[in-house]
Amino acid sequence: MLIQDGEKPVEARFRHRMEEGLRAALPSEHAEITSSCWRQKWVVNFAHVGRGQSAIKYLARSVCRTAISDGRIVAMNNESVRFGYRDSKTGERKQCQLSADEFMRRYLQHVLPAGLHRVRYFGWEHPAAYRRRRRVETLLEVVILVRGPEVVTQWHLRCPHCEAFALVCIKSLPRARAPPERWAA
């Protein structure tokens, strides 16, 4: 690994690992990149973001909801859009007026890339998907709370053999009923 003048060691390591990974995973694409790219200084922009909760909250908002609801738009015409928002520092409600072009530019920044879909409470997160959700809970070892009338119960039993994992109820079997009587003909 060669460190260029003025390059930080972490940037050189990132460049080196990127080249190794690309060469191993996609050799044909690696061959298309000029060798000078791997010899020049790279600038890697990274910053500590704590434990990532704020990034997860931001991503969750963009996946679960649309960028702006109709109720927040106060007024609009062909030239501008005025909408309400809550100031993140003070917590007070304010209004902002933007040109139509600027509003659309900001709105389109929140459109998910191709292949990603918004969460719409289907699949294993749907309130009626009890069995699938229990299976996911078992695999993740986490109880998932779902909006809806269903009450989630958690057992506090441990595996009798390894005692490492908590047992999770996946399905309750109905009581066995008596076999149907055979009518003599």
Note the pLDDT of residue 150: 43
| CB-CB contact of 135 with 170 (8 Å) | yes
Note the pLDDT of residue 24: 93
* Nearest-5° Cα angle at 161, 160 to 167: 50
Distance between CA atoms of 132 and 146, rounded to whole angstroms?
13
Note the pLDDT of residue 128: 74
State the residue for tokens 């390591």. Answer: 13
State the residue for tokens 């007024």. Answer: 75
Distance between CA atoms of 111 and 85, rounded to whole angstroms?
19
Percent of the chain with pLDDT over 70: 63
Higher pLDDT, 51 or 1: 51
Distance between CA atoms of 169 and 83, rounded to whole angstroms?
47
Residue 142 DSSP code:
-
Note the pLDDT of residue 15: 87
Note the pLDDT of residue 75: 92
Percent of the chain with pLDDT over 90: 16
Distance between CA atoms of 178 and 107, rounded to whole angstroms?
62
pLDDT digits (tens, 9 = 90+) for 62-86: 666 677 888 889 999 989 999 999 9
pLDDT digits (tens, 9 = 90+) for 5-42: 677 888 888 888 999 999 999 999 899 988 888 888 88
Sequence-separated (6 or more) residues with CB below 8 Å from residue 55: 49
Higher pLDDT, 103 or 180: 103
Structure tokens at 58: 């931001």
- pTM for this one? 0.38
Note the pLDDT of residue 50: 73
Distance between CA atoms of 22 and 29, rounded to whole angstroms?
8
pLDDT band at 178 (very low <50, low <70, confident <90, very high): low
pLDDT band at 99 (very low <50, low <70, confident <90, very high): very high
CB environment 160-171: b (16+ within 10 A), e (fewer): eeeeeeeebeee
Residue 89 DSSP code:
T
Higher pLDDT, 138 or 125: 138
How confident is the prediction for the chain on average, in pLDDT? 76
